[in-house]
Amino acid sequence: MKTASALNTYLKETGGWVAAQLEACTRCGICAEACHFYQALGNPEYAPVWKLEPLRRAYEQRFTLAGKVKLALGMEKRLTDSDLEHWSQIVYEACTVCDKCAFVCPMGIEIGPLIHKVRTGLAAAGLVPGDLAEATDKQKTIGSPLGVTDEMWRERIDWITDEWEATIPVDKAGAETLMVFTSIELMKFPDNLALIAKILNKAGENWTVSSRGREVVNFGFFEADEELTKLFMHRVFQAAEELGVKRLVISECGHAYEAFRWTAPNIMKVPEGLEIIHITELIHQYWKTGRIKIKEGAFDGETITFHDSCKIQRLGGLIKQPREILQVLAPTSFKEMTPNKEQSMCCGGGGGVISIKEADSNRYKVFEMKLEQLQDIGAQAVCMVCSNCRLQFVDSLAHFNSAVKVHSLAELVARALI
């Protein structure tokens, strides 16, 4: 039954694009060395190309002569429920869908989006790891993967407003800009809301948050369940339409940025004329146009580096914006890790991995490589623009007893405002 649901989904998902991508693969294995899970754990099953195997088998065995012959001669088996259970561990617990593997593939195969399709089949078969499924369910029923109810959200916003003397407009009709935060920021890094509010207010922005569209994270997207992915984005789009805003600003979440910016226009109706940007772009625009001023050298002194988020920098291309700002804030002590920019290594916690307890050992093993990159340049602090990455850094640095400090870019900018 599980296998039938997964196979039906794979066959439905396999159009010309998927078939062409799968046919183009030469099984050269070059992608393996690009994957941080494969590098850190050495498990051959973590090679990106192997993660595509359920999709490939479904396609070949149904649509190609070679696949049918291999089946008939017993050279290849049909997928079973236990095979799919096994692949669930591989693609949810040892893949952050960071898409670095696609960068090295000589055939230009978009491995990340294909792994997303493998997840889609597993989600249809009910084979999403328990913790991830639970968080998704909370987002569906309560409105937040961390279980933040409407009432808790209100109380939290009020508390942040008092604690940091922040001005956070709620449900302001006629606002130009709708700012949508993550539950991670709300619950784990509440100062980030206050500091972003400070920047927006300083820039004179006519903005608001929404009690209806209050969650930017999308656990349906992590699972790869299209209906839930749409539902969670629909809540935000509906809020944007009701408030009549012209711009939607995605706070610090890489996957949310991908979902709203690139996935939404392909799978659902996006309110006409709505501009969708990441908070990094907005802060950079404010600074470039003189709407905010920041103190030069405010953080010079300790060696600070920047962690590139897979979906915001590698996919989204926002590579120069944070660096231009960091060059002002720390002109002599900003240092790059290696690799960096679009070649940067994922933190290991994205794609839903950090929410799965069983993936903790994988996650820490991968982070050891990031820690080495920090140590190689003597970093005392690291800055980033994704709260999911930030959670992984904070948790993993504590796990390894490291004293490296973790900051969001918005936090540094807010603290350096003139």
Footprint (CB under 6 A) of ligand SF4, residues 45-74 = 48-49, 51
Q: Which residue has the tokens 């290696």?
A: 338
Footprint (CB under 6 A) of ligand SF4, residues 319-348 = 346
Residue from 26, 167, 206, 327 that binds ligand SF4 (CB under 6 A)? 26
Nearer to ligand SF4, 6 or 98 (CB): 98
Instruction: Map residues 31-50 to x or -, x wherever contact with ligand SF4 holds by CB under 6 A.
Output: x--xx-x----------xx-
| Cβ neighbours for 172, distance < 8 A, ≥ 6 positions apart | 207, 208, 243
Nearer to ligand SF4, 111 or 127 (CB): 111
The distance from CA 278 to its chain's CA centroid, rounded to whole angstroms, is: 12
Residue from 109, 146, 160, 292 that binds ligand SF4 (CB under 6 A)? 109
For residue 386, the minimal CB distance to ligand SF4 (Å) is 15
Residue from 29, 126, 204, 378 that binds ligand SF4 (CB under 6 A)? 29
| Cβ neighbours for 265, distance < 8 A, ≥ 6 positions apart | none
Instruction: Map residues 195-224 to x or -, x wherever contact with ligand SF4 holds by CB under 6 A.
Output: ------------------------------
Nearer to ligand SF4, 179 or 312 (CB): 312
Instruction: Map residues 84-103 to x or -, x wherever contact with ligand SF4 holds by CB under 6 A.
Output: -----------xxxxxxx--
Told to check if 124 binds ligand SF4 by CB under 6 A, we report no
Nearer to ligand SF4, 14 or 192 (CB): 14
For residue 116, the minimal CB distance to ligand SF4 (Å) is 9
Told to check if 126 binds ligand SF4 by CB under 6 A, we report no
Nearer to ligand SF4, 52 or 240 (CB): 52
Told to check if 30 binds ligand SF4 by CB under 6 A, we report yes
Instruction: Map residues 357-396 to x or -, x wherever contact with ligand SF4 holds by CB under 6 A.
Output: ----------------------------------------
Do 345 and 367 form a contact (C-beta atoms < 8 A)? no
Told to check if 107 binds ligand SF4 by CB under 6 A, we report yes
Residue from 40, 58, 105, 283 that binds ligand SF4 (CB under 6 A)? 105
For residue 94, the minimal CB distance to ligand SF4 (Å) is 7
Do 312 and 252 form a contact (C-beta atoms < 8 A)? no
Nearer to ligand SF4, 22 or 194 (CB): 22
Within a 13 Å sphere around the CA of 385, how many CA atoms are in the beta-carbon half? 33
Told to check if 311 binds ligand SF4 by CB under 6 A, we report no
For residue 107, the minimal CB distance to ligand SF4 (Å) is 4
* Axis crossing angle, helix 53-63 with helix 111-124, rounded to the nearest 10: 80
Nearer to ligand SF4, 104 or 170 (CB): 104
Size of the residue set binding ligand SF4 (CB under 6 A): 27
Told to check if 28 binds ligand SF4 by CB under 6 A, we report yes
Nearer to ligand SF4, 60 or 215 (CB): 60
Q: Nearest-CA neighbor of 193 among 147, 158, 149, 234?
A: 158
Nearer to ligand SF4, 171 or 360 (CB): 360
Do 233 and 218 form a contact (C-beta atoms < 8 A)? yes
For residue 280, the minimal CB distance to ligand SF4 (Å) is 21
For residue 316, the minimal CB distance to ligand SF4 (Å) is 16
Do 384 and 340 form a contact (C-beta atoms < 8 A)? no
Contacts with ligand SF4, residue ranges (CB under 6 A): 25-31, 34-35, 37, 48-49, 51, 95-101, 105, 107, 109, 111-112, 115, 346
